Chain A
Amino acid sequence: MNGRKRLGVAVVGLLVACVAATAFAAPLKIGICKIMDHPALNAVEQGTIDALTAAGYIAGVDVEYVIGDAQGDPNNATPIAQNYAAQGVALVVAISTPMALAAVEVFDGTDVPIVFSAITNPLAAELVLGDTDPSQNGNVTGVSDLIDVGKDLALLKELDPAIQRIGLVYNPGEANSDLLTGNALAAAPGLGLTIVTAVADTTANVPMAAQSLIGRVDAFYVTTDNTVVSAIDAIISAAEEAGVPFLMADPTSLEFGPVIATGHDYYEHGLLTGDIVLQILGGAAPNEIPVVYQKDPEVFLNLDAAAAIGLAFPQSVIDQAAGIYFAGTTWSR
Chain B
Amino acid sequence: MASIWVHAVEQGFAYGIAALGVFITYRVLRFPDLTVDGSFVTGAAIAASLLAHAGFDPFVVLLIAFGSGCLAGLITGLLNTQLGITDLLAGVLTMIMLYSINLRIMGRPNISLLRVDTATRVIERAVPGLGDIAVLLFLAAATGVVVLLLNGFLRTEIGLALRAAGDNEAMITAHGVNPKSMKILGLCLSNGMVALSGALVAQYSGFADVGMGIGTIVTGLAAVIIGGALIRSRRVGWMTLSVLLGSLVYRTAVMFALRYGHHVGFQASDLKLVTSLLVIIAMVVPPIRERLMRKVRAC
Contact = CB atoms under 8 A, between A and B. Distances in A.
B207 interface: yes
A82 B5 CA distance: 10
B221 to A, nearest CB: 15
Chain B interface category by residue count: 35 or more
Nearest to B216: A75
Interface in B115-152: 115
B268 A79 contact: no
B258 A101 contact: no
Given A75-B201, A77-B205, A175-B109, A82 B272 contact: no
B114 A79 contact: no
Nearest to B5: A86
B115 to A, nearest CB: 6
Contacts of B8: 79
A76 B254 contact: yes
Contact of A105 (B108, B207, B214): B207
B4 A83 contact: yes
A172 interface: yes
A105 B206 contact: yes
Nearest to A78: B205
A69 B268 contact: yes
B205 A68 contact: no
A75 B272 contact: no
Interface in B162-220: 201, 204-207, 209-212, 214-215
A105 B205 contact: yes
Nearest to A35: B211
A125 B206 CA distance: 11
Given A74-B211, A78-B205, A67 B259 contact: no
A82 B4 contact: yes
B15 to A, nearest CB: 8
B105 interface: no
B114 A105 contact: yes
Contacts of A97: 110, 209
Given A69-B271, A86-B3, A75 B212 contact: yes
Contact of A86 (B259, B269, B271): B259
21 contacts: A68-B268, A69-B268, A69-B271, A72-B211, A73-B212, A75-B15, A75-B201, A75-B205, A78-B205, A78-B206, A79-B254, A83-B259, A101-B206, A101-B207, A105-B205, A126-B112, A127-B114, A172-B109, A173-B211, A175-B109, A179-B108
Interface of B: 1, 3-4, 7-8, 11, 15, 99, 103, 108-110, 112-115, 201, 204-207, 209-212, 214-215, 251, 254-255, 258-259, 262, 267-269, 271-272
Given A74-B209, A172-B103, 19 more contacts: A37-B269, A67-B262, A69-B267, A72-B214, A73-B214, A74-B212, A78-B7, A78-B11, A78-B206, A80-B258, A98-B110, A98-B209, A98-B211, A101-B112, A110-B1, A127-B114, A173-B210, A178-B109, A201-B99
